[in-house]
């Protein structure tokens, strides 16, 4: 058991560091169970610090020896570090011993498949040696690695390589959370890049032997990211080497360690046979994200972990813009909003709601959330919209100029835009402070050719925040006349009061307002529109996001009606999909998105919003009936699209081909409801790429008739970890009705269920959580199975366990029986002897 009563850390209690670090020199003598870490650190008292003794963080370290200015000392060992009186300037030396092989938490120095690697964000460095492990202490690092392994890597540029050792030096000051070390039997996929400043950079992607032919796309994404950051933000890379390493055991997606990014292998490795179009797109986005951190995160970092969104929100915004530039802004925006709603709106509507900049935490690892990342990115998008692209770029230039080499706050970030534009951003700053998704109600009428828009905003109470103040909400508005012509091109209004009225000349009395175009603000919009109005927008809105949104609202309303009134599928909605299927003038990727129905979880939230209690079986049944109705009504057109969208030639992951495959597979998924699975079976047999293979397989899984194909897939891919993750996940997440529960119960017994590997754990237990009807099975068996496995994983890997408790964050939506079952499962986790601080914080917040 860790600390008996874990203490909350508060933003309001921030204090400057007592000591600053001028230089760090580390030597690692690697050994699986007894690695020795020698540190030599020059400290200087911070004139702006609080005074007092030297306190260093340390966890699970065996201190062998410590010295100050060469004289051996006996520091006082504390539960989470050490303390010793120290002069104003001195050299600290320490030798500690650690056990990487026993490190199952995957934080600090650990081993994955025979290779040594590190993960230090947020507070992993303290598991490597004693150090002021906080982001506002920045220093240059020199690292010597001693090991017989062939590849020895750390941050910065290589200095020296000899028999059994390597030395690296990172000249850029950095906080300890950006430290990294890798040692292993690895091979590189290499390339090069010349920066706009003329620097020749060696690029390497390090993988296990055999994986080197799956790195080309990640490398290509890296080079495009490097060029993009130069063009879009004027930022060039600043070392002679950039290394990426793929590891099999990783808690998160990837990590932006200076000059040595470490990736979950699933976000690096791709080949047409093993990765889907979606995998390729994610690899591109994550490679870009980690690369972009070099400026937004590394050169300018966070003062403390409350400011996490300073680097994460901004970097997500940058990677989203990059992906939009590389592919399609319209499609990317729709995908991003779908994700935002599925994860962030869900979080904001439940017991885990917190501000983008939280004000207290018990375990910081629990705050790497959709709110910090995705809502954090939305705030930057709103800021850019409010001040304009040129002023945004000016403000960013000022940010990099003014704060390079510093550890900053949200106040620093907003100040550069105030200085660049003269605009007061005090009210805008509430987006960082207030949790919850704003609701905007819009009432529109037209009088004498004037569109009158009555807007009102409200923000629900969230944990710890009963009262809210109005925020600045930028809403992009347009209008479409009944004949389909646009009578109001996009204009942005700023809603700053609780209620406000806006007027626009539209020159007609029959038009429909298109509000929140491009999803200009992350709000829930209540706008009363008839099905006919929505169909008009779906057919004619010039804003691609709102065009999609109109179809989505039609689908949601139709499905909610079916569920609540056990009615038949709405003909208006079914008919409105006709042109979406057949209009070849429209982007196939867009049409694929418009054909997809809202997820079960979306519908559960929609029902909750309309004060109904979601019944998971009824939701699942309604979706299936709707899909069958669409397929029956449009079978001919779907069949034509299915043939027309066939991609010929070698597989290419670019947006054009991926869009065609997406539309074709959306058609396949619908057609499988009426053709008995014939097309899907044929496609599965013929597929030469994972996108088409998996789409066919998932369509068959939904019919409950995929046994042969699942076996064939297993036999072909049983030795490929990443592909087997898909095999596990798909048959659980995609199973119809409650049947995913039985599949999960069977697969936890499968010999290949290597539950200590986070990817595999997520592909089984996480996949059950993604199957709405199965996780929420009336028996409570879904909750119980997930709880059993979380209890089992927690002592080994608290971070991944704690993240996965969020599967339960919506328990309050459901009926009393389900609530009781979910609460019983949560209480069982909570009362587990020795439960980690991570999981215990999450479970008690979820229980409320
Ligand atoms: N900072 C990483 C990113 O956003 C995420 C991460 C956090 C990875 C904590 C590991 C541990 O790219
Ligand atoms: Zn990040």
**CATH number for position 129:** 2.60.40.1730
How many angstroms does the Cα of residue 254 sit away from the middle of ligand 2? 8
Q: Above 60 in pLDDT, residue 3?
A: no
Question: What CATH number does the domain containing 386 carry?
Answer: 1.10.390.10
DSSP labels for 35-73?
Answer: EEEEEEEEEEE-TTS--SSEEEE-SS-EEEEEEETTEE-
Number of domains forming the structure of the chain: 3
Per DSSP, the residues of 580-607 read: HHH-TTS-HHHHHHHHSPPPHHHHHHHH
Q: Which ligand is nearest to the CA of 261?
A: 1
For 330-373, write each residue's pLDDT tens digit.
999 999 999 999 999 999 999 999 999 999 999 999 999 999 99
Which one of 107, 252, 291 would you pick to mutate in the ligand 1 pocket, going by the greatest count of ligand atoms within 8 A of its CB? 252
Asked, for residue 53, whether it belongs to a domain, the answer is yes
295 within domain boundaries = no
Q: For the residues 715-720, what does the mean pLDDT come to?
A: 98
User: How far, in Å, from the CA of 297 to the mean position of ligand 1?
Assistant: 11
pLDDT at 375: 99
Residues 31 and 151 in one domain: yes
- Report which ligand 1 atom has the smallest distance to the Cα of 293: 12
Give the pLDDT mean for 147-155.
98
Question: How many C-beta atoms lie closer than 10 Å to residue 198's C-beta?
Answer: 7
Q: Would 518 be classed as within a structural domain?
A: yes
pLDDT tens for 228-263 read 999 999 999 999 999 999 999 999 999 999 999 999
**Domain match, 362 and 503 both:** no
Out of 256, 289, 291, 311, mutate this one to test ligand 1's pocket (max ligand atoms within 8 Å of CB): namely 256
Residues 383-440 pLDDT 10s: 999 999 999 999 999 999 999 999 999 999 999 999 999 999 999 999 999 999 999 9
Q: What is the whole-number distance in angstroms between the Cα of residue 257 and the centre of ligand 1?
A: 9
Domain boundary among 528, 554, 589: 528
CA distance 180 to 241: 14
Q: Are residues 459 and 414 in the same domain?
A: no
For the chain, percent of residues with pLDDT exceeding 70: 99
Give nearest CA residue, ligand 1 atom 7. 121
Token digits of residue 454: 């009555």
**pLDDT given at position 5:** 67
Residue 377: nearest ligand to its CA?
2
Domain residue limits at 127: 1-185
| CA 263 / ligand 1 centre spacing (Å) | 10
Shared domain check, 445 and 426: no
Residue 6's pLDDT is 81
Could you say which ligand is closest to the alpha carbon of residue 255? 1
For residue 567, name the pLDDT band (cuts at 50, 70, 90). confident
Ligand 1 atom closest to Cα of 289? 12
Domain check: are 473 and 423 in the same one?
Answer: no
89 and 179 both lie in a single domain: yes
pLDDT at 591 over 70: yes
Within 6 Å (CB) of ligand 1, which residues are found?
A: 119, 121-122, 252, 254-256, 289-290, 312, 368
Q: Are residues 29 and 164 in the same domain?
A: yes
Query: What is the Rg, in whole angstroms, of the alpha carbon atoms belonging to the chain?
Result: 27
- Report the separation in Å between the CA atom of 242 and the middle of ligand 2, taken as the mean of its atom positions: 17
How far is Cα 800 from Cα 252, in angstroms, rounded to an integer? 8
Residues 6+ apart with CB under 8 A from 222: 193, 203, 205, 242, 244, 287, 291
User: Which residue of 121, 135, 293, 759 sits with most ligand 1 atoms within 8 Å of its CB, as the best mutation to test the pocket?
Assistant: 121
Domain boundary among 185, 206, 221: 185
Query: In the structure encoding, which two tokens stand for residue 386, read together?
Result: 């409010």
The domain that holds 485 is classified in CATH as 2.60.40.1840
Is 790 inside any structural domain? no
Average pLDDT over residues 760-771: 98
Residues designated as active site: 290
pTM beyond 0.80: yes
Residue with the nearest Cα to atom 2 of ligand 1? 255
381, 414, 432 - which closes a domain: 432
Q: Are residues 83 and 113 in the same domain?
A: yes
Whether 32 and 151 share a structural domain: yes
> Which residue CA neighbors atom 11 of ligand 1 most closely?
121
Which ligand 1 atom sits closest to the C-alpha of 250? Answer: 10
Domain-embedded: residue 290: no
Cα–ligand 1 centroid distance for 305 (angstroms): 12
Atom from ligand 1 closest to the CA of residue 290: 12
Q: Mean pLDDT, the chain, as a whole number?
A: 98
Comparing C-alpha atoms, which of 466, 463, 468, 465 is closest to residue 439?
468
Q: What confidence tens digit (pLDDT) does each residue in 301-340 have?
A: 999 999 999 999 999 999 999 999 999 999 999 999 999 9
Does 418 lie in the same domain as 465? no
**404 and 457 housed in the same domain:** no
Q: Is 47 a domain residue?
A: yes
Predicted local distance difference test score (pLDDT) of residue 2: 44
- The average pLDDT across 645-654 equals 97
What is the pLDDT confidence band of residue 566, given thresholds at 50, 70 and 90? confident
Supply the angle between the helices 571-582 and 544-565 in degrees, to the nearest 10.
150
Which atom of ligand 1 approaches the CA of 251 most closely?
A: 10
Are 369 and 315 members of one domain? yes
Assign 547 a pLDDT band (cuts: 50, 70, 90). very high
Among protein residues, the one with the nearest Cα to ligand 1's atom 12 is 255
**Structural domain includes residue 344:** yes
Place of tokens 């069982």: 828
Q: Is the pLDDT assigned to residue 808 strictly greater than 90?
A: yes
Strand bridging mode 54-57 / 115-119: unpaired
Structure tokens at 820: 């009781």
Helix (H) or strand (E) holding 153: strand 151-154
Q: Is residue 558 part of a domain?
A: no
């Amino acid at each position: 058991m860790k600390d008996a009563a874990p203490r909350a850390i508060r933003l309001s209690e921030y204090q400057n560091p007592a000591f600053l670090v001028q230089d760090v020199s580390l030597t690692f003598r690697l050994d699986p169970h007894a690695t020795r870490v020698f540190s030599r650190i020059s400290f200087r008292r911070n004139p702006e610090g609080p005074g007092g003794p030297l306190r260093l963080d340390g966890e699970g370290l065996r201190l062998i020896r410590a010295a100050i200015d060469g004289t051996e000392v006996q520091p006082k060992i504390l539960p989470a570090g050490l303390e010793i009186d120290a002069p104003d300037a001195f050299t600290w030396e320490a030798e500690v011993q650690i056990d990487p092989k026993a490190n199952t938490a995957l934080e600090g120095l650990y081993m994955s498949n025979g290779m040594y690697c590190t993960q230090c964000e947020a507070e992993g460095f303290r598991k490597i040696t004693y150090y002021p492990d906080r982001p506002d202490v920045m220093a240059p690092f020199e690292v010597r690695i001693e090991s017989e392994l062939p590849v020895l890597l750390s941050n910065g540029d290589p200095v020296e390589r000899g028999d059994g050792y390597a030395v690296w030096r990172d000249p850029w000051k950095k906080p300890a959370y950006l430290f990294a070390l890798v040692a292993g039997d690895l091979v590189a996929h290499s390339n090069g890049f010349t920066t706009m400043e003329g620097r020749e950079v060696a690029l390497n992607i390090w993988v296990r032997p055999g994986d080197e032919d799956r790195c080309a796309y990640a490398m290509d994404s890296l080079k495009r990211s490097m060029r993009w950051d130069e063009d879009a933000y004027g930022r060039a890379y600043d070392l002679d080497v950039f290394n990426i390493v793929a590891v099999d055991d990783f808690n998160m997606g990837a990590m932006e360690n200076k000059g040595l990014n470490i990736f979950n292998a699933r976000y690096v490795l791709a080949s047409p046979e093993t990765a889907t179009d979606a995998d390729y797109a994610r690899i591109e986005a994550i490679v870009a994200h980690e690369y972009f951190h070099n400026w937004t995160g590394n050169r300018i970092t966070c003062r403390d972990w409350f400011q996490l969104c300073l680097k994460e929100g901004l970097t997500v915004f940058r990677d989203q813009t990059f992906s939009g530039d590389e592919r399609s802004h319209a499609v990317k925006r729709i995908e991003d909003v779908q994700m935002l709603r599925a994860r962030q709106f869900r979080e904001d509507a439940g017991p885990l709601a917190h501000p983008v900049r939280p004000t207290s935490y018990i375990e910081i690892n629990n705050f790497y959330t959709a709110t910090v990342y995705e809502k954090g990115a939305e705030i930057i998008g709103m800021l850019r919209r409010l001040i304009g692209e040129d002023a945004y770029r000016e403000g960013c230039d000022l940010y990099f100029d003014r704060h390079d080499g510093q550890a900053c706050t949200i106040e620093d970030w907003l100040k550069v835009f105030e200085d660049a534009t003269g605009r007061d951003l005090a009210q805008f700053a509430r987006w960082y402070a207030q949790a919850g998704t704003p609701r905007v109600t819009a009432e529109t009428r037209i009088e004498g050719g004037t569109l009158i828009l009555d807007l009102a905003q409200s923000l629900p109470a969230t944990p710890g925040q009963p009262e809210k103040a109005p925020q600045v909400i930028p809403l992009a508005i347009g209008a479409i006349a009944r004949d389909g012509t646009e009578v109001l091109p996009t204009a942005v209004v700023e809603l700053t009061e609780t209620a406000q009225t806006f007027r626009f000349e539209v020159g007609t009395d029959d038009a429909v307002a298109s509000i929140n175009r491009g999803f200009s603000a992350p709000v829930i919009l209540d706008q009363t529109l008839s099905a006919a109005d929505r169909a008009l927008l779906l057919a004619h809105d010039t804003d691609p996001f709102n065009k999609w949104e109109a179809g989505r609202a039609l689908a949601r309303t139709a499905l909610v009606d079916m569920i609540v009134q056990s009615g038949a599928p709405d003909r208006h909605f079914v008919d409105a999909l006709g042109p979406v299927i057949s209009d070849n003038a429209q982007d196939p990727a867009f049409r694929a998105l418009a054909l997809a129905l809202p997820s079960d979880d979306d519908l559960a939230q929609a029902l909750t919003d309309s004060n109904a209690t979601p019944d998971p079986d009824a939701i699942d049944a309604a979706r299936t009936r709707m899909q069958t109705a669409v397929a029956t009504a449009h079978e001919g057109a779907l069949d034509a699209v299915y043939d027309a969208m066939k991609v010929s030639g070698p597989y290419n992951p670019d947006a054009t081909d991926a869009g065609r495959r997406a539309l074709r597979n959306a058609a396949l998924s619908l057609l499988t409801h009426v053709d008995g699975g014939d097309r899907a079976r044929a496609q599965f047999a013929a597929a030469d790429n994972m996108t088409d293979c998996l789409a066919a397989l998932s369509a068959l899984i939904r019919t409950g008739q995929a046994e042969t194909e699942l076996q064939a897939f297993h036999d072909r891919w049983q030795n490929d970890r990443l592909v087997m993750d898909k095999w596990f996940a798909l048959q659980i997440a995609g199973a119809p009705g409650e049947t995913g529960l039985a599949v999960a119960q069977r697969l936890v017994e499968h010999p290949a269920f290597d539950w200590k590997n986070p990817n595999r754990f997520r592909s089984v237990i996480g996949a059950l959580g993604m199957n709405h009807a199965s996780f929420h099975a009336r028996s409570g068996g879904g909750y119980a199975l997930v709880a059993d496995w979380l209890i089992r994983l927690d002592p080994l890997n608290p971070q991944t366990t704690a993240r996965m408790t969020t599967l339960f964050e919506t328990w309050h939506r459901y009926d009393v029986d389900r609530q009781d079952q979910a609460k019983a499962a949560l209480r069982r986790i909570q009362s587990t002897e020795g439960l980690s601080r991570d999981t215990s914080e999450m479970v008690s917040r979820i229980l409320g």
